[in-house]
Amino acid sequence: MGNSILKMALVSVAISAFATAAPAFAQEAEEESGPITISGGVTVVSDYRFRGVSLSDKDFAVQPTITISHESGFYVGAWGSNLSENTGDDVEIDLYAGFAGGEELTYDIGATYYLYPGVSSLNYVEFTGKLGSTFGPATVGVQLSYVPSQDNTGNSDNIYYGTNASIALPDSPISVVGSIGVEDGAFTAGNEKVDWSLGLTAEVSGFTLGASYVDTNRRSIFAAEDSKAGVVFSLNYAF
């Protein structure tokens, strides 16, 4: 696990260095090829939970990300994390692209390619649609994700739909956050799985601190302990 965390830490350092040059690059891109925004950041979590299930064997994970967006709404990006050695690989890289926009009602339609460099047989593509809106201090979103039948999913499809919400507390940097999702198909062996979370986030000196209780009603077929309920702590820096 130490080697995988080191790999992601090195990637994080590279992204941070890129962030230093990003404003100048973005300004040049605006002048030459239209308005382009570069954003990203690094998150450290006490446990990498994906839809309720721990993929880091309840160990720390380093998760850098970067996104390049055009004013038209089109964007491309990459995200990464170290994984548990039990998965057969120690790094996950997600390559994504999509189209987002809207004001009172926001939308985001895109695709993500989940890449596992050491075990290509685990790679797969997923398509996702999201809607979101803000009501006073509350921001609410819904999503529908679909994995079509492909060799790397055992020639079965998978569907995930969920909702999430964030409520900002008045005169405070703290927000209450929560989510719930339902998954069925290739990744649940045909047995419906429900996951949920509830927690708090706080904006402190340019960082976002978080703590959430995460649980799911089904244990993973990969390890009996990796989806038991637990509290996940996070520290995020975004640019």
At the top level of CATH, the class of 2-238 is: mainly beta
Category of 46 on φ-ψ map: left (φ > 0), alpha (ψ -120 to 50) or beta: alpha
Contacts of 92 (CB under 8 A, 6+ apart): 55, 80, 81, 82, 83, 114, 115, 116
**Residue 89 pLDDT:** 65
Q: How far apart are CA 236 and CA 142, in angstroms?
A: 23
**pTM reported for the whole predicted model:** 0.84
Cα distances (angstroms) measured from residue 69 to each of 42, 77, 102, 143, 153: 18, 9, 15, 20, 30
Does the pLDDT at position 11 exceed 60?
no
- Residue 6, SS3? helix
Helices (H), the chain: 2-33
Return the residue matching tokens 């390049």.
68
Does the pLDDT at position 15 exceed 90?
no
Name the token pair of 126. 């997923």
- Residue 230, SS3? strand
Query: Which is more confidently placed, 220 or 177?
Result: 177
Query: Which is more confidently placed, 174 or 19?
Result: 174
SS (H, E, C) 30-51: HHHHCCEEEEEEEEEECCCEEC
- Cβ-contact 45, 58 below 8 angstroms: no
Cα distances (angstroms) measured from residue 234 to each of 5, 124, 195: 15, 27, 19
Q: For 178-217, how does the pLDDT look when each residue is reduced to its tens digit (9 = 90+)? A: 999 999 998 888 788 999 999 999 999 999 999 999 999 8
Name the token pair of 233. 């702590």
Parse the chain into domains and list their residue ranges: 2-238
End-to-end CA distance of the chain: 28
Q: For 108-149, how does the pLDDT look when each residue is reduced to its tens digit (9 = 90+)? A: 999 999 999 878 888 999 999 999 999 999 999 999 999 999
What would you report as the CA-atom Rg of the chain, rounded to the nearest whole angstrom? Answer: 18
